Structure 1
């Protein structure tokens, strides 16, 4: 046995096996049973012994606080959260909703854990990455489609020691990690400041507050997290930034990623993103959703070409989207500020860049964004596409015939 995680896995296996034989034990009872099977008085003693062995055989990833805390937990499929950022999330899994209920009944803190594979519907400890964050819950609101919108703010990084379902809710044992003392990184921050301006221009990223933040902040860790939150990266690359605990090293990794050749956004798609945000702003919506984006994609040359190749009813699709935005999103109307893209909006934008790379496009187009929207199966946008004749299979076939390439 290598460490406490093996004991946790044994306890989980034991619990599942007993459940199959109509014998129900709690998570804590299964831990105690495994401890006794291994000749140790209780779980606390076994955990201490295993942690001591681990310290003797391997260097820890960071200096850790000694107290492990138990938190309600939410697994994230396509989002890597960072401290000091606010995230609107849309929750559909029952175990996640139950975890949120537990958090709202307590200290309003929840562990956000990043899934290794988005397709896993009921993740276990092996299915989530080691580093997550503790977030503060700000709002929880039920939506008409049966899902829930939850607004969270990231607080701090933690190392997960366990992740399991208990009493129908996800729970995680986690311990805070130390990021150490930040070194002077003035020159590195200055270079990232300059390169990130070019990066946002190439990718059509609208970040009206970022430059003021740079002017007022000299904390390398905060600056690194703020930039990482806004970068368009695959989940694995973004997670590596979250898991890089040393602030200066995190900045260095960001600088290297900013220096990589980036897939530019086509002029048409940049206009489409601005139009989607304008659709939200005109309605005084707090967030720009996938439905705002899809409404803009109807007028995007490349995306609309793919939809017409699918024999889509674009007039009906437009009518359905306008009705949804005007009637069903009244709960996100606000009188102040500009609309912020939802996490789903940003996920689609990131997947669009990856799809453009896979297809060999010189720039990201609205057609790539249309394809990137299909995995968001719980969204009204995906449902409306299906209702009006646009499926992933038909769209893929149209793009394979050359429909949707940048038209200039």
Structure 2
């Protein structure tokens, strides 16, 4: 069975079949007819889909891995072949319609390390991010115990101006988290949610003093019941 990847051969066969019946058409017209058979407005759109489908996987940078929940059929993750020293996550153009936006489908490139050298300290992660037609691109870090729920986590999503969206040039982002004595591992990286492209470079991880505030969103608890009648009463400090 033919697929859209065989479009050029199908166009050639169509042209030959019509010629045998005395109907001459150009090769470009045959390509346009095949494109419409596959539901595309024109050959240029189908040709772009074919090129995207044939993109080779990117090479992963040593020490980094793709998060297990990432659907690598919809994304490419690894070193940008056009920019050494830069990591890239991009949605495959031929799979954009298959990305589950309602579920917040996300592609994650990450690194995991032992927490031993950092226990009892405050840790700052910095990196530069760039985006192109991205729904959401951001930096993230998580501190985990040996078992159970994570100890600390931040992905900038709750911070105004934190994640990148649309097309933006190189922008530095940082996360600061405490690493308790009970920490076992630390995980960090960047992710792309939905479609588009996101680049990252110049990752750095350093202990900082307690004078540097953590970026983790705090608990959203009030000191007492407040504004129960929706009349605009403000909590007392």
- Scaled by the length of structure 1, the TM-score of the pair is 0.20
> Which has the larger strand fraction?
2
- Scaled by the length of structure 2, the TM-score of the pair is 0.30
> Which has the larger helix fraction?
1
Structure with max Cα Rg? 2
